[in-house]
Structure 1
């Protein structure tokens, strides 16, 4: 097990900036705004011979409201999961009463506490740390997270009691497993679904749109299979996104789709499918990600209303008819147990290798059943097919005049491949390649015989 360190402190002292530096990522949103971070963000870092986990947390002792109470609860949970604490303070603001209160509460935990004085660039370390000696903490470090100053010496000191990491620990691809992005509009129940799938309160849920801001990666294991859930911020129409913070959140949600193997798109059964849902589904389709659709808050509908919702959703979701649809209640758990099975099916279909001989046999049988149409009186000839990629499956078809193959016939081929090879839950792409004419560049060049014939013809014309 790698050592884990929680970054804690009052709001706006630079915790997310330090998290990004330690993980060498930009996973945590950073802005000059207090209480920006809400959920725990976990990332992996490496320095020298050591690998480690680091947890970004929301600001402690923020404004006394319901949201900040939840943020504080999750920060203390992060400390309980850690083998050490990086207690971040602001060197320019100096020691505050809030810092003293947090230090007193941290002493209740029997884990090492490292006092990290941030924003100490251009300040004398001895001078800036003198005031914080009043906290009575032994391990004091001065850094500037924004300028990457003092980071190496900080982590060398923090990691000194821990043995070097093994080679196996450096490979994280197997640990991530199947990456699942949970996406949808604000307040459709994404975070509630994440907690339900995990079986505990991992991310903050609040009856307020826009609660989640970062994309939160949470690894877990179920029945021997590893997964990483990605909770994302709600995506609204661009015209309704005004705040810079929300713009960053939306960008991170779209990036989470690109990082995922499978996307669970959450729709609100009570509101039905909106134009924004269709736009987001279009983005998922373009990205080529495997897809599962979860219709949430299904338990809140009357039986007569459910049939009407099923009908309208079936009509509007025709362009992603390859995806399994599940009607669930994330709050009460009904139907949620089937989602991971659908995720596994979609992931396997997206990565399934298909034998070339079988592909050609299916293609030729499809052509025999329904030949391609004629183009200017000439037949389109589909001669050969092979698999050109995975995630999503890509099938490359070679032939003559294939660029003129109608979209309707391409859909026919895609549906045939999907049915024969059981490729449920994933989009399929066709690449069409026409054969080239080896004499294309020589069509205007005459052979010697043609040249002699042409010369005789010209002489004959002159005599006449």
Structure 2
């Protein structure tokens, strides 16, 4: 960066006592902001410089934003926060995942929408992977990027940092350049999983099956080598997940990095293969990686590897355990493999192609709306604020995976349980059983109330 050139500025904003200062300290890797479990401790802006993946940027911790004047410092804090919002290039809006959306969160969200600046919602205090679903309700605030984190448990921070640097212009230029050089006639596949699950041996079994390795080509990340492979006329680019994460000044621990190294490959992939060790079943680490896949709406295949080490009854138990632990990834088919004995390799490649094609599937508008009408006849959505919820019309958006825009009367009234009910039934009725689908709700008549 040239002297005098403005550094990319990230402002951490939110109401008091949601963990803004704790997040600030985690991002810069030192205890600079005072952290206390009482509202209003941070009264002024605190600025520091940090970096991630070799990209430097400024981070600003702001005071807790409140709209009332019950605190004598409130008007001063509001003025400082509003000035920082104007100066920042990106806003990280911190909310409390345990408390859920509050009226003040909604007021702050409305203010941030008016700025038209990029906003990442960091849902803090999600200290257990099984509680990540609590973060879903924060999509109601109207922002596309919602990341569950725990500043105490150091969870989700790598994903948040990845999201931040994606907004930095120099980083974006690099990504665009890399994509221009990519050939578009192959399926990009990321093989991910915890250490020793058998990822490398599985890839070797795939490459050795037909021995038609086209070439070893340098990957888009300098520290990796991606592998191009062809079988029966279909090309695959297997993304190497080793060595992606560069060391940062922020010390997050070995386990944190093992998750972080998978993030970039998942982001780039058309299909993600999650490898589970049959002798261990789905572990907490596997749940974390599956969460990364699910939150990005990535087509996926779950591989239970090393099946030759188990008896038939033991294997049945493992399959059921994997389904139970990774219930949120229920659209991903399960393939049983033994890399050592080359069992299940052909089926895996077939499933990769199948889920890839499902992710590109287009659904007619008439078919979509008939399906929604049929689903609602099975189970009406619960009432909201004493009024029935209505779905007027739906249409599919461009791109992949399949995303459907639903015009409704009250978008905030559609809660997770009913949204999942819609998703699961739409998959069945539209032939998208193995595709991640995204439902976007848009209210039509909030102004009338």
What is the TM-score when the length of structure 1 is the normalising length? 0.51
Give CA deviations for 1:261-302 in whole Å, capped at 9, x if unaligned. Answer: 000000101122111110011011112211000011110112
Pick the aligned partner of 2:316 from 291, 296, 307.
Answer: 307
Q: Distance in 2 between matches of 1:180 and 1:388?
A: 24
Q: Distance in 1 between matches of 2:290 and 2:330?
A: 12
Shift of 1:427: 1.6
Larger radius of gyration: 1
Residue 187 in structure 1 maps to residue 196 in structure 2: yes
Correspondence for 1:216: 225
Residue 427 in structure 1 maps to residue 436 in structure 2: yes
Query: 1:218-257 maps to which residues of 2 (within 5 A)?
Result: 218-233=227-242, 240-241=253-254, 247=257, 251-257=260-266
Correspondence for 1:328: 337
Shift of 1:216: 2.8
SS in 1 for 2:324: helix
Shift of 1:171: 6.7
SS in 1 for 2:235: strand
Compared with structure 1, are the counterparts of its residues 332 and 432 closer, same or farther at alpha carbon in structure 2 (3 Å cutoff)? same
Q: Distance in 2 between matches of 1:234 and 1:301?
A: 31
Residue 339 in structure 1 maps to residue 352 in structure 2: no
Asked if the contact 2:191/2:273 (under 8 Å) is kept, the reply is: yes
Asked if the contact 1:179/1:230 (under 8 Å) is kept, the reply is: yes
Q: Distance in 2 between matches of 1:409 and 1:359?
A: 17
SS in 2 for 1:186: coil
Q: Distance in 1 between matches of 2:287 and 2:244?
A: 12
Query: 1:114-129 maps to which residues of 2 (within 5 A)?
Result: none
Q: Distance in 2 between matches of 1:389 and 1:331?
A: 41
Structure 2 unaligned runs (5+)? 1-52, 55-179, 214-221, 246-250
Correspondence for 1:375: 384
Correspondence for 1:297: 306
Asked if the contact 1:186/1:233 (under 8 Å) is kept, the reply is: no
Q: Distance in 2 between matches of 1:279 and 1:195?
A: 25
Correspondence for 2:288: 279
Q: Distance in 2 between matches of 1:368 and 1:240?
A: 50
Query: 1:60-459 maps to which residues of 2 (within 5 A)?
Result: 172-175=182-185, 177-199=186-208, 200=211, 214-233=223-242, 240-241=253-254, 247=257, 251-436=260-445
Compared with structure 1, are the counterparts of its residues 353 and 267 closer, same or farther at alpha carbon in structure 2 (3 Å cutoff)? same
Compared with structure 1, are the counterparts of its residues 389 and 336 closer, same or farther at alpha carbon in structure 2 (3 Å cutoff)? same
Out of 302-311 and 221-230, give the one that drifted further: 302-311
Q: Aligned pairs, how many? A: 257
SS in 1 for 2:322: helix
Q: Distance in 2 between matches of 1:292 and 1:344?
A: 10
Give CA deviations for 1:335-391 in whole Å, capped at 9, x if unaligned. Answer: 111011111111111111111111111111222232222223311111000112432
Q: Distance in 2 between matches of 1:439 and 1:378?
A: 13
Compared with structure 1, are the counterparts of its residues 252 and 272 closer, same or farther at alpha carbon in structure 2 (3 Å cutoff)? closer
Give CA deviations for 1:307-360 in whole Å, capped at 9, x if unaligned. Answer: 322232222121111110111101111111101111111111111111111111
Shift of 1:250: 5.8
Compared with structure 1, are the counterparts of its residues 171 and 322 closer, same or farther at alpha carbon in structure 2 (3 Å cutoff)? same
Shift of 1:190: 0.9
Compared with structure 1, are the counterparts of its residues 309 and 425 closer, same or farther at alpha carbon in structure 2 (3 Å cutoff)? same
Q: Distance in 1 between matches of 2:393 and 2:420?
A: 18
Q: Distance in 1 between matches of 2:181 and 2:323?
A: 42
